[in-house]
Amino acid sequence: MTDPRPALEAIGQSAPTSKSTSPTRRWQLARVDAPDADWKGARAELSKLARDAVARAGEMPSDDLAKRAATLAG
């Protein structure tokens, strides 16, 4: 695996208003903290969880917040 520090330096040079740098910065910092961890697998799993949550939320009526919360928590 390549060293994530150059990516962090490049991110630091990007515009501070860029919303896309925040998740990127977090992933690169995680790679510094745990260089041998399966960060690609973790990213894929978290992306799947997020997609599933969005799909479930879209299937529920928007007027029943308690049901929505319970379903998403499940």
What are the phi and psi torsion angles at 35 (to 5°)? -65, -25
Q: Mean of the pLDDT values across residues 26-37? A: 77
Sequence letter at residue 8 = L
Q: Mean of the pLDDT values across residues 14-20? A: 56
Q: How many structural domains comprise the chain?
A: 2
Most confident of 7-11, 21-25, 51-55: 51-55
Q: Are residues 27 and 48 in the same domain?
A: no
Q: Mean of the pLDDT values across residues 39-66? A: 82
Q: Are residues 23 and 52 in the same domain?
A: no
Q: Are residues 32 and 42 in the same domain?
A: no
Rounded Cα–Cα distance for residues 55 and 44 (Å): 16
Is 0.85 topped by the overall pTM?
no
Q: Is the pLDDT of residue 36 over 80?
A: yes
Q: Are residues 20 and 42 in the same domain?
A: no
| Structural domain for 7, as ranges | 1-37
- Helix axis angle, 5-13 to 21-33, nearest 10°: 150
Q: Are residues 1 and 32 in the same domain?
A: yes
